[in-house]
Amino acid sequence: MSPAKPRLALVTEHDPGNYRVDRQVGFVLRKANQRHVAIFASHITDLTPPQFAALSKLADVGEISQNQLGALVAMDAATIKGVIDRLKARGLVDVARHAADKRRLMLRLTEAGRDAVARLTPLAERITAETLAPLSQREAATLLKLLTRIA
């Protein structure tokens, strides 16, 4: 005889053997991210996702300081610095000290940077589509909505 299951759990009890790491949000989030990065790399080989995010955002806003751009693309000061350094090295971003506030590093796209954004944005749309390919349109919209709420 196996022990009878309680018909009602009067208190929330801890079930010791029931935790599975690979079913937790954190784990699945990490895996989904991995797959997306792989899809990205298969379409865009010359930039990483964070680099493209910074570039694309910079195209939107025109001119902005390094840390402010970082805030817009969810990168802290240390991270955005490295990203911008690499974009600078590729000649996609121009840098100048702010005249009135000498602390600020003002960023702008170069002509090559604008070209890159124009060229890559259609590919980026395909990357999004391919990442969401396992889902219906409706499911994809739901996922994006829920994901945004926990982000």
- Residue 135's binding partner among a second copy, DNA, none (Cβ under 5 to 8 angstroms by kind) is a second copy
- Coil, strand, or helix at residue 93? strand
- Environment class of 59 (CB within 10 Å of its CB; exposed 0-12, middle 13-18, buried 19+): middle
Q: How far is the CB of 140 from DNA (least distance, A)?
A: 22
Q: Is 57 in the site for a second copy (CB under 8 A)?
A: yes
Taking contact as CB under 8 A, which single stretch among the options 52-60, 83-91, 94-102, 105-113 is the one that binds a second copy?
52-60
Taking contact as CB under 7 A, which single stretch among the options 3-11, 97-105, 114-122, 131-139 is the one that binds DNA?
97-105
Indicate which single residue of 36, 57, 81, 114 sits in contact with DNA (rule: CB under 7 A).
81
- Binding mask 60-79 toward a second copy (x if CB under 8 A, else -) reads x-----------xxx-----
Separation of CA 17 from chain center:
34
**Residue 87 has which token pair?**
């974009």
Q: Is 13 in the site for a second copy (CB under 8 A)?
A: no
- Environment class of 26 (CB within 10 Å of its CB; exposed 0-12, middle 13-18, buried 19+): exposed
The DSSP bridge partners found for residue 85 are none
What single-letter amino acid sits at 91?
A: G
| R_g of the chain, CA atoms, integer Å | 22
Q: Which spans of this chain sit near DNA (rule: CB under 7 A)?
A: 30, 34, 37-38, 41, 48-51, 65-68, 74-79, 81-83, 86, 100-106
